[in-house]
Every structure is written in structure tokens, then in C-alpha cells.
Amino acid sequence: MAAKVTVKAPTSTANLGPGFDVFGLAIDAFFDEITLSKIKSGISIVTEYKLPKNPNSNTAGLVVKNMKKKFKIKDGVEIKIKKGIPAGFGMGSSAASAAAAAVAFDKLFNLKLDNNLLVEFAGSGEKASAGTIHYDNVAASVLGGFVIVKTNPLNVIKVEPPTNLRMCVAIPSLDVPKKKTKVSRGVIPKKIKLSDSILNLSNASAIVAGFMTKDPSLIGKSIVDVIVEPARKHMIPGFDQVKKNALKAGAIGVTISGAGPSVIAFASNKSDLKKISKAMSRGFASAKIESQTVICKPSIGAISMKK
């Protein structure tokens, strides 16, 4: 059995508009890296980044704690965390660390868990940052590609994305609240109109069809959400302008990435991706917000690295 395993897991964007808590897409913008090593006892978190060191409040730490308990592992585990994904911007940063931790733990102790169990354990880590468990980001980070999270019981369905799908993500320089996901989940209405749910359901279904038929245009045109985006967009200064600019520059669909505040535009490899990115930055600039933009493709999931 290995004494040390390193796993790299990608950024993910959740929801894709109407698929709140159900859709996730792994994207190759950034990566987190987790190295797990066996130690005598306990759980020790080692990182040069500003992250909680208590396993209960650290996504990777909570995953390791839960897996250690479930599989009655007596060894201690050291968790080394290398963050590549900016935290708190709707890029699945906490989820990537949780996903990498679950996959690394599985390898370190040779558990051979199936994908649904890996996602379930990775999701248990999200509680440390989001307050509640949701599987969209972790499922994408574990499996890669486009994922549909079917719950009760958890069953993650993966669909290979079209190879010509491209995304532009604009990450605004905003001060995000500490428990941002929790805060941004709090603004979503508890009750919704039937007509809105029908609209979202029709768009969500069309997105799935778009992934199945490898059609970036159908995916992009169906990124329309009349429930969550309208409730959250006030938390993102300049959002309407960013969206308008991106669409004008040729994006096919635009929405909030996960719980925000990053905004993601969907396009194809034929689109002028630099133009779209610049247009998004200009949108944020109109609200006096600086932003960083990343052009990206769908990514594979968490992989272990030879070190």
C-alpha cells in the first residue's frame, strides 16, 4: 500500500443556469492538489495557504475525518493542500480540495470505492464551507466532464462534453463574505411559481440534450435561469452589463458560475473568446470592479499524480 498519494482536481462550474444543485461541469481553468500521507495518528493539515487547520472546518479535512471514521482506519493522515483555485468565487474551490481528498484517501487505503461513494464522501466535505451538502461541484471535480446529480439515492450521471465547447470566466475582484455559499443560498426563494419551474425544467432538459448531442449552441441557448440568477445577481455588481456585453461579443449563453460572483459565458471554439472575455471585463469595469478572465475547456476529473 502506498504511504503517500497526490491527487489533482479541477475547477468546476455548478448549476449552468437552470440546473441548480444538479448540474456541474469540470473546467480546466485551475487545479487544487492534495497530498495525503500516513502518519502515526490523528489528522494534520499542512498548507502555506490561508486555510482552516481544524479538520472540521476544512473541506479536505472533513472528508478525511469522515472516511477515516467510516472505514475504521487507525493510521493518522497528513493532508498537504496546494491551492490553485481562487476560493470563494464560484469556481468550486472547496469542492476541488474535497474531491481530491476523497480520491486520494481511496487510493492511499486501497478502498476501491465506486464513483457515487467517492462523490458522497467528497460532498460531505462541502459542509465545512457551504453549511449544507451539495454534490454538483464535487461530482464534476471527481468525475470530470458534465455531470447530472440525481439524488435519493445519490447517482451521478456523467456525460462527455462536446470537445468544441469553450467557456470564458470573469472573476471580479470583490470582497466575498466568509461563508459566501451559505449567504448566497440564503437569498434564493423558498417558493417558486409553477411557470418558472416549467421554464427552468425545459431549459435544463435542453442543456442535457445539448451535452448528449455534443451541441454547444443548444447548451448555450438553454443557459437560461429564471429562478436563482434573478435572486442572486444583486450580489454581483455589474452582472447585467457583463452578461449583455458577453452576448453581444458572441457568447451563446451567460450565467453566474455556481454561487458566484464569477460570471461564466458559454461559447464554442469558433467564437472570438478573447473578445468575449474583454467584453466581460468591460462590463465589470462599468461597475468600477476589476476582474480577471480565464478562457477554458471542459476538464477531466481528479487524477493521481506520480510524484
Site residues for ligand HSE per CB under 6 A: 14-15, 20-21, 90, 134, 136-137, 181, 185, 258-259
Instruction: Choose between 8 and 185: whose C-beta lies nearer to ligand HSE.
Output: 185
Of the candidates 11, 126, 229, 293, the residue annotated as catalytic is: 126
For the question of residue 181 being annotated catalytic, the response is yes
Residue 225 Cβ, how far from ligand HSE at the closest point, in Å?
10
The residue nearest ligand HSE at its CB is: 258
Sequence length of the chain is 307
For the question of residue 126 being annotated catalytic, the response is yes
Counting other chains too, the contacts that 187-191 makes at CB distance below 8 Å and 24 or more residues apart are 187/231, 187/232, 187/234, 187/235, 188/20, 188/227, 188/228, 188/231, 188/232, 189/227, 189/231
Round to whole Å and give the CA distance between 132 and 183. 11
Q: Where are the beta strands (DSSP E) in the chain?
A: 4-14, 23-39, 43-47, 76-82, 146-150, 155-159, 165-172, 253-256, 263-268, 291-296, 303-305
Round to whole Å and give the CA distance between 163 and 138. 22
Of the candidates 13, 181, 255, 293, the residue annotated as catalytic is: 181
Residue 172 Cβ, how far from ligand HSE at the closest point, in Å?
16
Cis peptide before 86 (omega within 30 of 0): no
Instruction: Choose between 123 and 162: whose C-beta lies nearer to ligand HSE.
Output: 123
Round to whole Å and give the CA distance between 102 and 64. 7
Whether 134 and 21 have beta carbons less than 8 Å apart is answered as yes
Instruction: Choose between 120 and 215: whose C-beta lies nearer to ligand HSE.
Output: 120
Instruction: Choose between 161 and 258: whose C-beta lies nearer to ligand HSE.
Output: 258
Closest CA to 36 of 16, 55, 12, 56: 55
> Phi, psi (5° rounding) for residue 217?
-70, -45
Residue 93 Cβ, how far from ligand HSE at the closest point, in Å?
9
Residue 44 Cβ, how far from ligand HSE at the closest point, in Å?
27
Instruction: Choose between 90 and 216: whose C-beta lies nearer to ligand HSE.
Output: 90
Residue 164 Cβ, how far from ligand HSE at the closest point, in Å?
26
Round to whole Å and give the CA distance between 7 and 96. 10
Active site residues: 126, 181
